[in-house]
């Protein structure tokens, strides 16, 4: 194995190479959500918009729960890349794909139980629930493709390749948008059209991911030996990190689901309002997450190479870039936030009722940066226990805040949501020196 020699590298060049393809691809994700929202927001009642919002949150809960397939794979692959261990990179792909396939089959088998559980936890009107169930039982069949795409994107990013994930994300979302327009606007389908479009697009993306991997990285694969892939001695570290990330993600998605459930409890109108406002949060978060993904790749590489000097430099520069982008996004939301509402709905009463809550959206791009970027840095360093523990604390404080602030209505709900992000950022900042910048990170 070659020895990695630490040197002063061009950090900004690497950030641009890794972050900007991620930003481009990430922007296509909320744009897809925006198209879904816009199509449903133009139907005859707010029930369709609420159903897609509820359905989207449920799948966020499910698929983000499997987010370790990308996150753990990215960090560990990047560290193996920093160590120049291509065999380990290939083994990580095989391990992650095996777990992803098993997990997706379980989701398909347990879909009715999952649906009943989710709708028991989310309080909404019978009309919205019926439509959301229709959406759920169609979209669930995308599970195998979605989880395998998590794995391929994680491996590509770990190998310092942000271009392939960008191509995959753009293609999947373009196909999804085109099919949405075809099924809903042309064929007259409703929530079932939106769900079916997602299923088809995911499988097309998986086929392309396999083709791209074999084109450039086939040499890192060894013989597919299931006994070796699933051997506990090989899986142990992956499982420990994945378990921590799973708990962290479960807490995060539970918080978002709880936010949506409390929105629905206020009224169907508030559910529709917050579904729209979350599109702004998505637009902002996916832009900043481009730098978080770059942090995963770069920090993982430098951690694997035991290059603490460049690890610290990359952390500083990534934060600088992120706050600049956060500031720009905040100005855009302040100037054009009201006009953007017309992209999501043509119901004038709903637009007027949404405007008072834009203040929370304007503050979010700068307030939330620390939580997003530290997430990427900790993931790259595979410091998963810290992410898990800080997320548990943040979630518990969020639940307390909702209990105390919900009497103040939707403003109270948004205040609690903002506090969730602030607490995460503060905790991760305080713990960074101890858990990130030593030569080794315990997992």
DSSP calls for 252-266: HHHHHHHHHHHHHHH
DSSP state for residue 182 in the 8-state scheme: I
Q: How far apart are CA 388 and CA 379, in angstroms?
A: 11
**Taking a C-beta distance cutoff of 8 angstroms, is the pair 172, 201 a contact?**
yes
DSSP calls for 8-29: ---HHHHHHHHHHHHHHHHHHH
The residues, ordered by sequence, that sit 6+ positions from 118 with a Cβ below 8 Å of its Cβ are: 58, 61, 136
Specify the pTM. Answer: 0.83
Q: How far apart are CA 124 and CA 182, in angstroms?
A: 29
Per-residue pLDDT of the chain (443 residues; tens, 9 = 90+): 444 445 556 889 999 999 999 888 776 665 666 666 666 666 655 677 777 777 777 887 788 778 889 999 999 999 999 998 888 898 899 999 999 999 999 999 999 999 888 888 777 777 778 888 888 899 999 999 999 999 999 999 999 999 999 999 889 988 988 888 888 778 878 788 888 998 999 999 999 999 999 999 988 887 666 777 777 776 888 899 999 999 998 898 789 888 988 988 888 888 888 888 888 888 788 778 889 999 999 999 999 888 888 999 999 999 999 999 999 999 999 998 888 888 777 788 888 888 899 999 999 999 999 999 999 999 999 999 999 999 999 999 999 999 999 999 899 999 999 999 999 999 999 999 888 876 544 44
The residues, ordered by sequence, that sit 6+ positions from 176 with a Cβ below 8 Å of its Cβ are: 32, 197, 198, 201
Q: How far apart are CA 91 and CA 73, in angstroms?
A: 10
Question: In the numeric block, which tokens belong to residue 280?
Answer: 């702004």
For 199, what's the count of Cα atoms within 13 Å in the CB-facing half-sphere?
15
């Amino acid at each position: 194995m070659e020895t990695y020699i630490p040197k002063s590298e061009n950090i900004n060049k690497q950030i641009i190479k890794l972050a900007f393809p991620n930003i481009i691809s990430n922007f296509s994700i909320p744009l897809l959500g925006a198209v879904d929202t816009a199509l449903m927001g133009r139907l005859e009642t707010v029930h369709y918009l609420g159903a897609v919002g509820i359905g989207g949150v449920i799948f966020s809960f499910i698929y983000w729960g499997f987010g370790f397939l990308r996150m753990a794979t990215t960090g560990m692959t990047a560290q193996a890349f920093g160590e120049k261990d291509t065999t380990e990179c290939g083994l990580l792909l095989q391990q992650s794909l095996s777990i992803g396939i098993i997990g997706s089959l379980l989701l398909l088998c347990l879909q009715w139980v999952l649906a009943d559980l989710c709708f028991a936890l989310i309080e909404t009107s019978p009309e919205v629930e019926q439509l959301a169930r229709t959406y759920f039982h169609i979209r669930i069949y995308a599970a195998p493709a979605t989880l395998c795409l998590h794995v391929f994107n994680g491996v590509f990013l770990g190998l310092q390749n942000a271009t392939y994930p960008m191509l995959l994300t753009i293609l999947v979302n373009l196909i999804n948008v085109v099919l949405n327009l075809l099924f809903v606007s042309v064929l007259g389908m409703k929530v079932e059209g939106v769900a079916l479009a997602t299923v088809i697009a995911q499988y097309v993306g998986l086929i392309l991911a396999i083709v791209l991997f074999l084109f450039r990285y086939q040499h890192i694969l060894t013989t597919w030996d299931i006994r070796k892939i699933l051997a506990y001695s090989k899986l142990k570290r992956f499982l420990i990190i994945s378990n921590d990330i799973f708990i962290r993600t479960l807490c995060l998605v539970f918080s978002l689901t709880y936010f949506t459930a409390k929105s629905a409890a206020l009224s169907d109108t508030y559910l529709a309002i917050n579904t729209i406002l979350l599109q702004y949060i998505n637009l902002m978060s996916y832009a900043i997450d481009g730098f978080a993904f770059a942090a995963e790749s770069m920090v993982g590489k430098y951690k694997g190479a035991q290059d603490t000097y460049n690890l610290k430099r990359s952390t500083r520069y990534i934060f600088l870039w992120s706050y600049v982008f956060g500031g720009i996004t905040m100005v855009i939301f302040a100037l054009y936030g009201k006009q953007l509402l017309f992209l999501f709905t043509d119901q004038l009463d709903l637009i007027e009722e949404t405007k008072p809550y834009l203040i929370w959206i304007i503050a979010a791009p700068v307030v939330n940066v620390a939580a997003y970027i530290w997430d990427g840095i900790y993931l790259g360093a595979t410091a998963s226990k810290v992410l898990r523990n800080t997320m548990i604390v943040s979630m518990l404080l969020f639940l307390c805040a909702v209990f105390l602030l919900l009497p103040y209505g939707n403003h109270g709900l948004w205040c609690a949501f903002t506090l969730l992000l602030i607490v995460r950022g503060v905790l991760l900042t305080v713990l960074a020196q101890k858990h990130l910048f030593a030569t080794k990170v315990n997992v």
